[in-house]
Amino acid sequence: MVFDMRDREQALLVLSDGTAYRGLSMGAGGEFFGEVCFNTSMAGYQEILTDPSYAGQMVNMTYPLIGNYGVNPGDFESDRVYMGGFIVRESSRIRSNWRSSADLGGFLEKHRVVGLEGIDTRALTRHIRDRGAMEGGISSLDLDPESLLDKVERAPGLVGVDLVREVTISEPYVWEENLAAEPEFEVVAFDFGIKRNILRLLNAHGCRVTVMPASATAAEVLERDPDGVFLANGPGDPAAVTYAIQAIRELLGRKPVFGICLGHQLLGLALGGRTYKLKFGHRGANQPVMNGDTGRVEITAQNHGFAVDTESLEGCAFGNVERTHWNLNDETSEGIRCAEAGAFSVQYHPEACPGPHDSRYLFGLFIELMKEWRR
């Protein structure tokens, strides 16, 4: 007898405005509440799933066919999955790739990700685009929209919540497995939810990386006398990570600083600027960013729901803050530099994974900056 889709367990997604989407359960059964966002990358679901920046969120993939190539040992961006829910139009029942070692469904189940399949994912995307990012609940246990909505309303939102605490480490560790030769630089990285490819690329550029908990103080960092400090990506509202902002402020001008994503927002805040929540964020692998220094456009990978208000950085106490990069779609901040403080950062993901490799030069710039500061 042929397997009948209709025999599968159902699952329900309810948004905080009451909109409900009924589909099939996949991955782990159960319930999850968090912010619903969408990602427009056509490939790279494994990297997205294992990106710690998605803590507290559920991701709706706009590309409808997900799981086609399974899960591959080399494509993890962290040890586990941080997002709580995963929504796709169709999850492939077969995996086809020479590197593949497991299938998506089993992987989601293992990592306790509540999955939803078969809904009109484009309708959901349009809804979020038009109404803005919102909280939602996904459940395979409670299929009553009203009751699920009730639970959604009681769940905490993202704004003002410090999600970094949930994803960071408790003890420092050293990453050197991708070093090709003796390291030239010692870098301390704040782990706000760091993606592995950042570590790989720092190693590839000759940096030994000491990864420290997000709560590390400036004194703890300086004690190690690194050549440079890296501010990692991570989840949630940057303004809630007050301790890190404090630490960064104290490091500015004393060590070269390079930040990515949440690291960019935290640098902005440390420089005295403000951040704000975007209507629905940028999540995908096709965002055009203008590099003000070269006049050229980089196609970038992005994953952020908050942005730096560049204007708020005018008259910064640490020195002039330049807007080095901006998004061509909506003109939002994509990169800043405070030369006096020896700090720069980008909102997007030059380490990609998933996404284009156009912006890898930024790691080179970090190296140059550290060299300069040595002199």
Partner 1 sequence: MPRRNDIETILIIGSGPIIIGQACEFDYSGTQACKVLKEDGFRVVLVNSNPATIMTDPEFADRTYIEPITPEWVAKIIERERPQALLPTLGGQTGLNVSVALAEDGTLDRFGVELIGARHEVIIKAEDRNLFKEAMRNIGLDLPESDFAYSLAEAKVIAERMGFPLVIRPSFTLGGGGGGLVYNMKEFLEVARHGLDLSPITEILVEKSVKGWKEYELEVMRDKKDNVVIVCPIENFDPMGVHTGDSITVAPAQTLTDMEYQMLRDASIDIMREIGVETGGSNIQFAIEPDTGHMVVIEMNPRVSRSSALASKATGFPIAKIAAKLAVGYTLDEIPNDITRETPACFEPTIDYCVVKVPRWAFEKFPGADEVLGTRMKSVGEVMSIGRTFKEAVQKAVRSLEIDRYSLRDLDEAPADELPGLLEIASHDRLFKVYSALQQGLGIDEIYELTGIDPWFTDNLLQIAEMQELLEGRDLAGVPDDLLREAKRYGFSDIELARIFGATEAQVRSHRLGRGIRAVFKSVDTCAAEFEAYTPYYYSTYEDEDEVRDTDREKVMILGSGPNRIGQGIEFDYCCVHAAFACKEMGYETIMVNCNPETVSTDYDTSDRLYFEPLTFEDVMNIVEREKPMGLIVTLGGQTPLKLAIPLEEAGVRILGTPPSAIDRAEDRELFGNMLKKLEITHPTDGTATSVEGALAAGRRIGYPVLVRPSYVLGGRAMEIVYSDEMMEKYIKSAVKASHEHPVLIDKFLEDAKEIDVDAICDGNRVFIGAIMEHVEEAGIHSGDSACVIPPPFLGEEVKATVSSYTERLALELGVVGLINVQYAVKDEKVYVLEVNPRASRTVPFVSKSIGVPLAKMATRVMLGQTLDELGLHEERFSRLKHISVKEAVLPFVRFQGADTVLGPEMKSTGEVMGIDDYSPGTDTGFGMAMVKAQIASYNFFPTSGTAFVSAPDRKKAEAVNIARRLADEGFKLLATEGTAASIREMGIPVEVVCKVGEGSPDIVDHIRDGEVDLVINVPEGRGSRGSGYSIRTAATMSGVPCITTIELSDMVLMGITALKKSGLKVKSIQEFHSEIAVPVERGQSGG
Q: Which residues are marked as active site? A: 261, 349, 351
Residues 53 to 82: which contact partner 1 by CB under 8 A?
62-65, 68-69, 72, 74-75
What stretch of H or E contains 202? Answer: helix 196-204
Question: Candidates 43-51, 157-165, 175-183, 317-325 — which segment interacts with partner 1 by CB under 8 A?
Answer: 43-51
Question: Candidates 161-169, 201-209, 279-287, 316-324 — which segment interacts with partner 1 by CB under 8 A?
Answer: 279-287
At closest approach, how far in Å is the CB of 133 from partner 1? 13
- DSSP result, 33-85: EEEEEEE--SS-HHHHHT-GGGTTEEEEESSSEE-TT-B-GGG-SSSS---SE
At closest approach, how far in Å is the CB of 94 from partner 1? 4
330, 375 Cβ separation under 8 angstroms: no
Residues with Cβ within 8 Å of 289's Cβ and at least 6 positions away in sequence, in order, are 297, 298, 299, 300, 325, 326, 327, 328, 334, 335, 346, 348, 359
**x/- contact string, 2-31, with partner 1 (CB under 8 A)?**
xxxxx--------------x----------
> DSSP strand E in the chain: where?
10-15, 20-27, 31-39, 57-61, 65-66, 85-88, 90-91, 114-117, 134-139, 173-175, 185-191, 207-213, 228-231, 257-260, 274-291, 296-309, 322-327, 333-338, 343-346
At closest approach, how far in Å is the CB of 42 from partner 1? 5
Determine, following the binding rule CB under 8 A, whether residue 355 of this chain makes contact with partner 1.
Answer: yes
Q: Which of 16, 25, 46, 57 binds partner 1 (CB under 8 A)?
A: 46
Question: Which CB, 11 or 216, lies closer to partner 1?
Answer: 11
User: What is the rounded distance in angstroms from the CA atom of residue 137 to the CA atom of residue 33?
Assistant: 4
Question: Which CB, 135 or 351, lies closer to partner 1?
Answer: 351
Question: Candidates 49-57, 118-126, 184-192, 336-344 — which segment interacts with partner 1 by CB under 8 A?
Answer: 118-126
Question: Which CB, 163 or 301, lies closer to partner 1?
Answer: 301
Question: Which CB, 15 or 341, lies closer to partner 1?
Answer: 15
Q: How many helices (H) and strands (E) does the chain have?
A: 10, 19
Query: Which residues of the chain form contacts with partner 1 (CB under 8 A)?
Result: 2-6, 21, 38, 40-44, 46-47, 62-65, 68-69, 72, 74-75, 89-90, 92-94, 96-99, 119-123, 125-126, 129, 284-288, 290, 295-297, 299, 328-329, 352-357
